[in-house]
Amino acid sequence: MSDVVPLDDGAEPIETMTLPLDQWHRERGGRMVEFAGYWMPVQYEGIVAEHLWTRESAGLFDVSHMGQLYLTGEGVEPAIEAVLPIDLATLKSYAPRYSLLLDENGGILDDLMVTRWNTGFYLVVNGATKWDDIAHLRESLPDEVTLTHLEDSALLALQGPKAVDALARIAVGDVAVTDLTFMKGGTFKIAGIDAWISRSGYTGEDGFEISIPAENAVQIADLICQQPEVKPIGLGARDSLRLEAGLPLYGHDLSPETTPVSADLTFAINKRRKTEGGFPGAERILGELANGAATRRVGLALEGRQAAREGAEVYFGDQKVGVLTSGGFSPSLNHPIAMAYVDAAQAAPGTALEIDVRGKRLPARVVSMPFVPHRYHR
């Protein structure tokens, strides 16, 4: 389903699609905005309140805009290893792993999750890049490998320290959801409906991601939100939560201009691949692993109360040394924080820098990430 949004400048209308829970969000007071080509709720009762509720209890996020893909066929493992810097021999069944889709120069085309499912692999890619990702994969994978876009599936994220209490009441499987640890998953039933559930998410909190048939999304979202710990949460709090957790957002902190080394994501390149290479951009990336990258993604803590936003320039004295890629006020820490790419010489924690915000220099210092400690259930 989609709506057509007219532009004021006489250009062709932009088609903005709707998610299975579109009306559900609107009925609950969700303020809808266009994001990644879809109408999505940016907030319900307010970003700060929703942020703090998720940190203290449990929040339900609709992330059905993301791309859910299934890769199967003869030779699927070497085919995936030819496009991702992952070692599938070390990937156990139903255990999601973070990975990166890279271009030939080692730039990041997307970050994604890979899970071994039965005879194939389940991938979750970003909503804003999923069509490009699908095209890139279909072009890169051999004809023997089939890529299925699971367009009839919705994806929900239940996040927060009490998420496990809420989900344990309604999800039934061969194991209990309470027995899952971080980055482990399995098949379950919720109200008799098949669901893939993994203990994962992008808030830094304990929580779960839940893939279900789109036709049952309303029923399951209702059931989850009937649990006293849970409220629906919008995109605004999702962004502030992931920023506090030090997690990069594709299209802002990650792009084809950044490499896994400069982005501080070298953990996504498995040990064997660091030795053998054989993935796109390996020559450049292995060189940066050996010699360092020119710039590094860092966390910044700002003095005062004024936040700095994406695009603000970062200075070391009179020398411009970087640019902000994400920034905002941290509800948990009660002061502004940001991520930036800065010259490697200024990337050490404790380095004093300044951020130019409309001609005013705001003092900041490099700090280790995450800004707020992760609370994954390991």
Tell me what pLDDT residue 118 has.
87
For residues 101-108, average pLDDT: 98
What is the spatial distance between Cα 241 and Cα 205, in angstroms, rounded to a whole number?
9
Mean pLDDT of 336-343: 98
pLDDT averaged over the chain? 95
Task: For domain 2-61+153-244, give the CATH number.
Answer: 3.30.1360.120
Residue 232, pLDDT above cutoff 50? yes
Mean pLDDT, rounded, for 353-373: 97
Element (H, E) at 102: strand 97-102
Mean pLDDT for the stretch of residues 116-137: 96
Cβ contacts of 338 within 8 Å, gap of 6 or more:
299, 300, 302, 307, 308, 312, 324, 326, 327, 328, 355, 364
Q: How far is CA 38 from the centre of its chain?
A: 17
**pTM of structure:** 0.94
Report the distance separating Cα 265 and Cα 278, nearest Å: 18
| Res. 8 pLDDT band, cuts 50 70 90 | very low
Average pLDDT over residues 85-103: 98
Q: What is the mean pLDDT of residues 348-364?
A: 97
For 99, other C-beta atoms within 10 Å of its C-beta total 25
Give me the sign of the Cα torsion angle 13, 14, 17, 23.
negative
Domain ranges of the chain: 2-61+153-244, 294-378
Residue 13: the pLDDT is 52
Model confidence at 122, in pLDDT bands (50, 70, 90)? very high
Q: Are 74 and 144 in contact (CB under 8 A)?
A: yes
In 331-371, beta strands by DSSP E = 335-343, 352-357, 360-367
Number of H-type helices and E-type strands within the chain: 9, 22
227-241 average pLDDT score: 98
| Short-list 151, 156, 107, CA closest to 130 | 151
For 140-188, what is each residue's pLDDT tens digit? 999 999 999 999 999 999 999 999 999 999 999 999 999 999 999 999 9
3-state secondary structure of 159: strand
Q: Is the pLDDT of residue 259 over 50?
A: yes
The reported pLDDT for the residue numbered 14 is 63
Per-residue exposure over 224-237, b if at least 16 CB sit within 10 Å of its own CB, e if not: bbebebbbbbbbbb
Q: Mean per-residue pLDDT for 111-131?
A: 96
What band does 255 get if pLDDT is binned at 50, 70 and 90? very high
Burial class of residue 77 in the structure, from the number of CB atoms within 10 Å of its CB (0-12 exposed, 13-18 middle, 19+ buried): middle
Give the tens place of pLDDT for each residue, 133-144. Answer: 999 999 999 999
Q: Tell me how far apart the alpha carbons of residues 378 and 375 are, in angstroms, rounded to a whole number.
A: 9
Q: Where does the pLDDT of residue 346 fall: very low under 50, low under 70, confident under 90, or very high at 90 and above?
A: very high
Can you state the angle between helices 235-244 and 47-56, rounded to 10 degrees?
Answer: 60
**294-378: which CATH topology?**
Elongation Factor Tu (Ef-tu); domain 3 (2.40.30)
Q: What's the token pair of residue 178?
A: 């309470």
Confidence class for position 108, pLDDT limits 50, 70, 90: very high
State the pairing for strand pair 97-102/360-367. Answer: unpaired
Average pLDDT over residues 201-224: 98
pLDDT band at 49 (very low <50, low <70, confident <90, very high): very high
pLDDT at 1: 37
The pLDDT of residue 4 is above 60 = no
> Is the pLDDT assigned to residue 2 strictly greater than 50?
no
**Tens digits of per-residue pLDDT, 188-210?**
999 999 999 999 999 999 999 99
